[in-house]
Amino acid sequence: MTDKKKNTAFLIVQDNEDARPIIEAVEQDNPEASIQYEPGMVRMECEGSLIVKQETVEALIGRDWDVQELHLVLISLAGNVDEDDEKFELSWG
């Protein structure tokens, strides 16, 4: 396995209306991330770390958003999880 693959954090979510603001937030907050749309799911990956910020999702949906709502659309992930009230971050190291 290459070092790049070993250090790639990823998040896979369902491809539905609830997940779309999360996907858009990841695109905004992680411009280097790769977003892959597949039937029924969306894979977002980035070398090193990937973050979903509460404030970005809230700006997109126009209401309060609890970071734990991410778990309702989550399929899979890779990386060490750092989750608090303001962010959900996956990273290696």
Structure confidence by residue, pLDDT tens digits, 32-41: 999 999 999 9
Domains of the chain: 3-91 (3.90.56.10)
Q: For the chain, report the end-to-end CA distance as a whole number of angstroms.
A: 17
Where do the DSSP E strands lie in 1-93?
Answer: 8-14, 34-38, 41-47, 49-53, 74-78, 80-83, 87-91
Q: Which residues pair with 87 in a beta bridge?
A: 53
Mean pLDDT for the stretch of residues 55-66: 98
Q: CB of 86 within 8 A of CB of 56?
A: no
The band of 3, judged by pLDDT with boundaries at 50, 70 and 90, is: low
pLDDT of residue 1: 46
Mean pLDDT for the stretch of residues 21-31: 97
pTM value is: 0.91
How many Å is the Cα radius of gyration of the chain?
12
The band of 93, judged by pLDDT with boundaries at 50, 70 and 90, is: confident
What are the distances in angstroms from CA 77 to CA 49, 61, 63? 12, 23, 26
- Lowest mean pLDDT of 9-13, 35-39, 53-57, 89-93, name the range: 89-93
Instruction: Tell me the C-alpha distance between 3 and 13, whole Å.
Output: 25
